[in-house]
Structure 1
Amino acid sequence: MNHLPSVDIVCHRTRREKKEILEFGPTQSVERTQKEMQAPAAEKVPGRWKMMRGRRISNLRERRCGAAEGSDSQEVFLPLAKLIYMHVVSSLESESLCTLSTPGKKTVRLNRMPHPEKDLWVEEQEVLTSTSSRYLVQSFRGEGSFGKVTTCLNMDTKQTVAVKILKQMDYNMVGTEEEIAMLQRLKALDPDKCNIVRWFEHFVHRGHTCMVFEMLDISLFDFMSARHQQPLSLLEISVITQQLAVAFQALKANGLIHADLKGDNIMFVNQREQPLKVKLIDFGLAVPVSEVALGKTFQALPYRAPEVVLGLPITEAIDIWSLGCVIVSLFLRDHLYPCRSEYELLRVIMRTHEPPSEHLLNNGIKSHWYFTTTDEDSPHHGWRLKEFYTKPAMEEDTPPRAPLDNLIDLLPLVYPEEDEDILLELIDLLKGMLTIDPDLRMTPGDILQHPYVSLLPAYYGHSL
């Protein structure tokens, strides 16, 4: 029988000493006592003892202890311990106050209060067992909303692998099953030739789904962060683009959309032995084209294709748009389309493109969310972008950009020693990948045949 490790909950304590009235509104207040916090503690955790607002204030009002209904008293008296508990729990939403520990072993640090059933407490040197293999946990690579990723040793094959351990959430069960079904479908492809992460198996450990993948090196996002966003060379960009185009060509041939391309989901295989070899990972949102519901939202916001925003039919072309955005970030040091909402995304896209065609807007089921039609009697009858925000505010948040053709003025500054013809080829490639109309956008095959991708590596004498 498995036993959970001991839990050490680290939190700040207080004792009654000072009386303080905290106002919750014009008529209601809470009386409590507390010890004055020492300055060092306040510096370490600023704002820790600020009373909760909004929903949490309403919750406090509902918890009136000893206040009878219809009472004339407007004061609510809550035990000090309960106040402290609610303060700490609210702080845990943004700060980590809880660690799981067992003497002599490194454990996972949680960013919230642990749940005894849904949080899997995995320790180094613990063994995860499937029906065919045993995996020794060696270290922790990271933790996200989905769960944890660990570095493990397959005790049977002596191969180092990455094991993705998913959280046990009811709402996530369907998504987990869909991801496994997608990985099983991709298993028919050659992961090395198609530049897709190799998946070995999945199993259940203490009620948590575990997925076993080949061990890769570092993500493109982390790689760029480590070099402080210094632009990659034209050769490096070409080689990476070629490999991702091969991956998307394989997905397109099988009628699949990745739907979540970004720097985090592009991994270097082994920087020491194969410096520019990359693979596509994370198929948690991948979906067959035939099963995409009209109007469904995909992709991280800065990489989101216009047809997704407008509610047009979605195809594999959305991955090509995302790829174009990724490529630009490799020399621009920033997103091509920085934004915080779909509306802002459309605004910045329209600073490098003409507005979407009337044909696209007429067919988009969400076009009316962001565009409005002018009066039929108007000489400029048609669609125009709504003005949700004041013009000065939007200009401050999203500075004007020039059309993609104007990159020719920027690229010589980034690559002063490169031939202008090569820079023009790169711009031509980007314009083809970032075409608003998905039917006119480049396909993976078009990318592989483009001179920037097909000829540049040979020009530099490079081969993978």
Structure 2
Amino acid sequence: MRLQALHIGGSQDSSTPSVDTAASTSAVSEAAPLSAPQTPADSPGESFTDFKIGKDADLMNNDAPVNGVDKDEPSAADYDPTLDMKAEKKRHGTGGVNEELSAASYDETQTSRQDILMPDAVQPPEPKAKDPYDMFAEDDDDDMFAEDTQDTAQPTHASAKSAVPQPKELDISMMDNWDDPEGYYNVRLGELINGRYHVQQNLGKGMFSSVVRATDSKTGGLVAIKIIRQNDTMKKAGMKEIGILEQLHEADPDDKKHVIKFERHFDHKGHLCMVFENLSMNLREVLKKFGRDVGLNLRAIRAYAQQIFLGLSLLRKCNILHADLKPDNLLVNEQRNILKVCDLGSASPATENEITPYLVSRFYRAPEIILGIPYDHAIDVWSIGCTLFELYTGKILFTGRNNNQMLRSIMECRGKYPPKLLRRGSLTPMHFDDMLNFLSMEEDKITGRSVTRVLDFKKPTRDLKTRLMGGKETRGMTDSEAKELAQFVDLLDRCLSLNPEKRCTPTEALKHPFLCRPKV
């Protein structure tokens, strides 16, 4: 079966950022060195090297539409793919020993508060109250926004550092068991792990691992250490992730392709531990703080997209599928101008594309996955198309409560699936009849019972261009601004082709006019 990685990844509730393969950094000087910005191959024009942020407000989209068609759509900033995947897994009865590592099921279920991936200078907001009205859950008892997250993190500001004990290696005689009943390692502040890492902070606990923030005594910098739970299957999957990370590093020894820097791994008290570089926050956190419901400006999106596609070009070169790309798995540095592709936990060789309808977090799941069509690198390009839409609009592009309604949401925007594509899908009969009419499985608003409606999408009712440009064309945009936005629409159109064979590749994306603009 397809083994997924063990990490605390993805997104958490709206009050917490991703505790991923990068830890918080309290100061730029403490962070691990970041790669120098690189100009995309075959992109002689403007690159993200030119992207500088004087203040965080520079990320904001001041040209956001005021009368767009999606003003009431769910906010991308508030969506939690982690709890969504947990609920989806529960609904479909997965989660046994051999199934608990299914696509993205490793995501965070209990994390610390927002400051765990943020610089000391930024004060985190209070955790958001539970939302009693879950627009995504399939029933009221399965509210993915109702997760009761505990504030387990220690303060990150400098005054709190004095409370951390001096480094000391713990002796087996000091306790009866290193682990809790669920197999998590009992982390203690001040503990010296591997004779090198001084634990500063317990960052959170996910389904398959916990993450701590530690000072590397050899470098003086901060690192994130992911500690895998005591479980042979989880350890095996973690070793697979490590193998992929090492393969990517070997192909990019100079750290130019914007994939998270994996430093090393070791065993501690029977737990596999993985050490990663420091970064600041993920792109969903960026949306929450600087682009809630309005998105980021095209200048920032261009810089981020260039770096994302550079990362995808490395994955493609190494024949690796990421298989869980979303804003939560894209981290930026403290200056917000350098991005890294993170969370290789769902990654695998492209040859291991076993048919599974729940691969990738649902709102970023390509249609070929849902239809049971053999997939390839194009699934990652689809996910990035969805992500870039979110970054610009602050809204989620495709929102279906389940796979069936995801197919409907996609058709409403992108039109009918080509019959030839549908006939290739082993799971097509679950969603289409013999005449390839779509069978929309819905809930009767009066009786609450499941009903099936036959729908025919003659043309998109909420097309991509309208959703992206709603209201903008009437606001006095200059010719240059209109052209730039049209180029962005075209790039997304190429990323979101229903036929995966017609989607652009990362190299083609880097050569696209939106990303390869001449310098002014």
SS of 1:153 mapped into structure 2: strand
Which residue of 2 is the match for residue 238 of structure 1?
302
Preserved contact between residue 465 and residue 489 of structure 2 (Cα < 8 Å)? yes
User: C-alpha separation between the residues in 1 aligned to 2:197 and 2:476?
Assistant: 50
Distance verdict in 2 for CA 1:364–1:449, change over 3 Å: same
Q: Which residue of 186, 195, 207 maps to 1:121?
A: 186
Please state if 1:212 is matched with 2:275.
yes
Q: Which residue of 193, 196, 210 maps to 1:134?
A: 196
Preserved contact between residue 229 and residue 330 of structure 1 (Cα < 8 Å)? no
Question: 5 Å matches for 1:403-418?
Answer: 403-407=463-467, 409-410=469-470, 412=472, 417=477
Q: Which residue of 174, 179, 183 maps to 2:245?
A: 183
SS of 1:187 mapped into structure 2: helix
Shift of 1:124: 1.8
User: C-alpha separation between the residues in 1 aligned to 2:222 and 2:202?
Assistant: 13
Q: Which residue of 378, 394, 403 maps to 1:317?
A: 378
Preserved contact between residue 348 and residue 401 of structure 1 (Cα < 8 Å)? no
Shift of 1:446: 1.0
Q: Which residue of 300, 303, 310 maps to 2:361?
A: 300
Listed as ranges, the gaps of 5+ residues in structure 1 are 1-92, 107-113, 375-382, 395-399, 460-464
SS of 1:150 mapped into structure 2: strand
Write the letter of the residue equivalent to 2:286: F
Preserved contact between residue 247 and residue 318 of structure 2 (Cα < 8 Å)? no
Shift of 1:321: 0.2
User: C-alpha separation between the residues in 2 aligned to 1:97 and 1:426?
Assistant: 40
User: C-alpha separation between the residues in 1 aligned to 2:445 and 2:153?
Assistant: 49
Preserved contact between residue 310 and residue 364 of structure 1 (Cα < 8 Å)? yes
TM value normalised by structure 1? 0.67
Distance verdict in 2 for CA 1:403–1:392, change over 3 Å: farther
Which residue of 1 is the match for residue 105 of structure 2?
none
Which residue of 2 is the match for residue 355 of structure 1?
416
Distance verdict in 2 for CA 1:439–1:100, change over 3 Å: closer
Please state if 1:389 is matched with 2:450.
no
Preserved contact between residue 205 and residue 211 of structure 2 (Cα < 8 Å)? yes
Q: Deviations over 1:404-445 (max 9, x none)?
A: 132464161798646211111111111000001000001001
Please state if 1:193 is matched with 2:256.
yes
User: C-alpha separation between the residues in 2 aligned to 1:349 and 1:253?
Assistant: 29
Identity %: 29
SS of 2:265 mapped into structure 1: strand
Preserved contact between residue 241 and residue 345 of structure 2 (Cα < 8 Å)? yes
Distance verdict in 2 for CA 1:99–1:412, change over 3 Å: closer
User: C-alpha separation between the residues in 1 aligned to 2:515 and 2:297?
Assistant: 13
User: C-alpha separation between the residues in 1 aligned to 2:406 and 2:286?
Assistant: 26
User: C-alpha separation between the residues in 1 aligned to 2:276 and 2:191?
Assistant: 18
Q: Which residue of 311, 323, 326 maps to 1:259?
A: 323
Q: Which residue of 350, 358, 368 maps to 1:289?
A: 350
Write the letter of the residue equivalent to 2:259: I
Listed as ranges, the gaps of 5+ residues in structure 2 are 1-145, 155-162, 166-178, 451-459
Which residue of 2 is the match for residue 445 of structure 1?
507
Preserved contact between residue 296 and residue 394 of structure 2 (Cα < 8 Å)? no
Which residue of 2 is the match for residue 58 of structure 1?
none
Distance verdict in 2 for CA 1:267–1:94, change over 3 Å: closer
Preserved contact between residue 126 and residue 136 of structure 1 (Cα < 8 Å)? yes
Please state if 1:327 is matched with 2:394.
no
Shift of 1:304: 0.2
Preserved contact between residue 371 and residue 425 of structure 2 (Cα < 8 Å)? yes
Distance verdict in 2 for CA 1:222–1:350, change over 3 Å: same
User: C-alpha separation between the residues in 1 aligned to 2:475 and 2:506?
Assistant: 26
Preserved contact between residue 245 and residue 447 of structure 1 (Cα < 8 Å)? yes
Determine which structure has the larger strand proportion and give its number: 1
Write the letter of the residue equivalent to 2:416: P
Q: Deviations over 1:220-276 (max 9, x none)?
A: 1112112334421111011100100011011101111100001111000232xxx32
User: C-alpha separation between the residues in 2 aligned to 1:323 and 1:218?
Assistant: 18
SS of 2:369 mapped into structure 1: helix
Preserved contact between residue 195 and residue 278 of structure 1 (Cα < 8 Å)? yes
Higher relative CO (CA 8 A, sep ≥ 6), structure 1 or 2? Answer: 2
Q: Deviations over 1:78-114 (max 9, x none)?
A: xxxxxxxxxxxxxxx965899999xx769xxxxxxx8
Range moving further from structure 2, 384-393 or 243-252: 384-393
Distance verdict in 2 for CA 1:124–1:411, change over 3 Å: farther
Q: Which has the larger radius of gyration?
A: 1
User: C-alpha separation between the residues in 2 aligned to 1:151 and 1:105?
Assistant: 12
Which residue of 2 is the match for residue 247 of structure 1?
311
User: C-alpha separation between the residues in 2 aligned to 1:306 and 1:119?
Assistant: 36
Preserved contact between residue 191 and residue 198 of structure 1 (Cα < 8 Å)? no
User: C-alpha separation between the residues in 2 aligned to 1:316 and 1:421?
Assistant: 29
Instruction: Report how many residues are paired.
Output: 339
Preserved contact between residue 252 and residue 316 of structure 1 (Cα < 8 Å)? yes
Write the letter of the residue equivalent to 2:210: K
Q: Which residue of 289, 296, 305 maps to 1:226?
A: 289
SS of 1:364 mapped into structure 2: coil
User: C-alpha separation between the residues in 1 aligned to 2:182 and 2:203?
Assistant: 23
Distance verdict in 2 for CA 1:160–1:191, change over 3 Å: farther
Shift of 1:358: 1.1
SS of 1:200 mapped into structure 2: strand
Shift of 1:291: 1.9
User: C-alpha separation between the residues in 2 aligned to 1:414 and 1:300?
Assistant: 35
Please state if 1:372 is matched with 2:433.
yes
Preserved contact between residue 231 and residue 331 of structure 1 (Cα < 8 Å)? yes
TM value normalised by structure 2? 0.60
Please state if 1:156 is matched with 2:209.
no
Shift of 1:170: 4.2
